[in-house]
Amino acid sequence: MRTAPTILHLDMDAFFAQAEQASKPSLRGKAVVVGGIGPRGVVATASYEARVFGVHSAMPTAQARRLAPHAAYLTPRGGFYRSISEQVMGLLRQLSPLVEPLSLDEAFVDLEAGGVAWDSASSRLVGVRLRAEIREVTGLTGSVGLAGSKMLAKIASEQAKPDGLVLIEPGTERALLGPMSVRTLPGVGPATGDHLRRAGIATVDEIVEAGEDELVRLLGKAHGHGVYAMALARDDRPVVAEREAKSVSVEDTYDVDIHDRTRIGLEVQRLAERCVRRLRGAHLSGRTIVLKVRRYDFSTLTRSETLRGPTDDVAVVREAAARLLDAVDTTGGVRLLGVGVSGLADYTQEDLFAQAAEAAAAADAAESAETAEVARIVRERAEGGQEAEADRPPGPEGAQPVERRWHPGHDVRHTAYGPGWVQGSGLGRVTVRFETPYSGPGRVRTFRVDDPDLEPAEPLPLVPEPSGGGEAVGRAHA
């Protein structure tokens, strides 16, 4: 463990919920729950106002509704959260080359490796400046912990919540840890915690009093030695720079099992398109296409197909996913579908052309008119054709267009009323509140779900552009 508190842990405060409150003026200061909103949904994040009622992450949404029936229940906007996370992680990388993200809203930073801090005073100054920069760039708050080890820095950031900074001075670690629950230590989960409690060990001080031999007897050699070392505040784990992604994937869980085979096929196509957008956003391509299907009885099947070369072509990934689906029995219904790409590589134009040529050659030899049509699209793409046409999913003949789904919390724009967000939908109607991050609480209006003047929209940034254009939009439609 270091003799100076130069390891920083950042944890954004109730990240998803805070981002929704910042985006929606009418929800500021109110209980907000983000997660799956259906009967099988699970809470991803709850605002501090919702936590007062006992709502917390990983809780079934149905239980959360019983505890906080008047809260706003919103479906996650993953792309929006990722864009904010990228801004925050960018600020952290300006401090040090050693940044270890744990999730979208949490990371360790080695300040010493970046040469920006070397003692308590300089570390505190960096933490204060970082919190101010995060607020300026994203409009959100984060809590910062500073200590001589990763374990203690994370404990410090938890104590700092919400919107604070805690620095653990060298030499005070043992006194701080002593009265804390054994669950505070890394590697002590619910099962280990219960096992220790039954042995009469509930606090970190009691672990030290029991001694290392007793911990080994209770938990086994490796785990016992590790937990005892943590209880003595010994943690030499380094901050490890983020590792390269091994795969890119997306999946959806459905509130009601899907039985219609055509609908399942359309969902797989949609997931393939989302997966490719994420792949391209990371400037990657991949060779192995993976399909994940969780059936009505909770059995989970995965099927994969490895291509001859890496691709980020939406038509190629879509077709591979469709072939994989053909080999899966969905009788009885499915509750989850996912599409992923692994075997990742940096994207190169030559890879795409090679893959397109292979697909075209295969299609020329095929008798299926549908396969030939896909090959034509791929050829046009390789020769400089319009990407919009290549991205259009081929649907079964005579298939009815899928009804637009309006997810609570997601962004929309109306031709007359401007930007807003979905409050809810049902019985052929969708209710929208028209407001922006820069306006006051907006008015609510209801439309038919197929209203041609209403369409999905991209989220507005939480902090307006320097030109003030976003602010003007907010005033115009408040």
**And the tokens for 129?**
């400046």
State the Cα–Cα distance between residues 272 and 270, nearest whole angstrom: 5
Q: Among 100-104, 147-151, 298-302, which is the least confidently predicted range? A: 298-302
State the Cα–Cα distance between residues 329 and 381, nearest whole angstrom: 33
**Which residues carry out catalysis?**
106
Residue 278 has pLDDT above 50, yes or no: yes
Residue 122 has pLDDT above 70, yes or no: yes
Half-sphere exposure of 256 (CA within 13 A, CB side): 3
pLDDT of residue 188: 86
How does pLDDT run across 71-104, given as a tens digit for each residue?
Answer: 999 999 988 999 999 999 999 999 999 999 988 8
State the Cα–Cα distance between residues 236 and 100, nearest whole angstrom: 15
Of 84, 68, 86, 102, which Cα lies nearest the Cα of 19?
84
Q: Among 69-83, 109-123, 464-478, which is the least confidently predicted range? A: 464-478
Q: How many helices (H) and strands (E) does the chain have?
A: 17, 17
How does pLDDT run across 285-294, given as a tens digit for each residue?
Answer: 889 999 999 9
- If you average pLDDT over residues 401-410, what whole number do you get? 77
pLDDT-derived band of residue 403, with 50, 70 and 90 as boundaries? low
Classify 280 as helix, strand or coil: helix
**According to the annotation, is 257 in a ligand binding site?**
no
**According to the annotation, is 13 in a ligand binding site?**
no
For the whole prediction, is pTM greater than 0.85?
no
pLDDT of residue 355: 41
Name which residue leads in pLDDT, 36 or 145: 145
Of 135, 114, 119, which Cα lies nearest the Cα of 167?
119
**And the tokens for 70?**
């008047």
Q: For residue 162, is the peptide bond before it cis, meaning its omega torsion is within 30 degrees of 0?
A: yes
State the Cα–Cα distance between residues 305 and 308, nearest whole angstrom: 10
Is the CB of residue 241 less than 8 Å from the CB of residue 24?
A: no
Residue 394 has pLDDT above 90, yes or no: no
How does pLDDT run across 198-251, given as a tens digit for each residue?
Answer: 999 999 999 999 999 998 998 888 888 989 999 999 988 999 886 666 788 888
pLDDT of residue 37: 83
Of 133, 144, 184, 155, which Cα lies nearest the Cα of 12?
144
Average pLDDT along the chain: 84
pLDDT of residue 381: 39
Residue 389 has pLDDT above 60, yes or no: no
Is the CB of residue 344 less than 8 Å from the CB of residue 276?
A: no
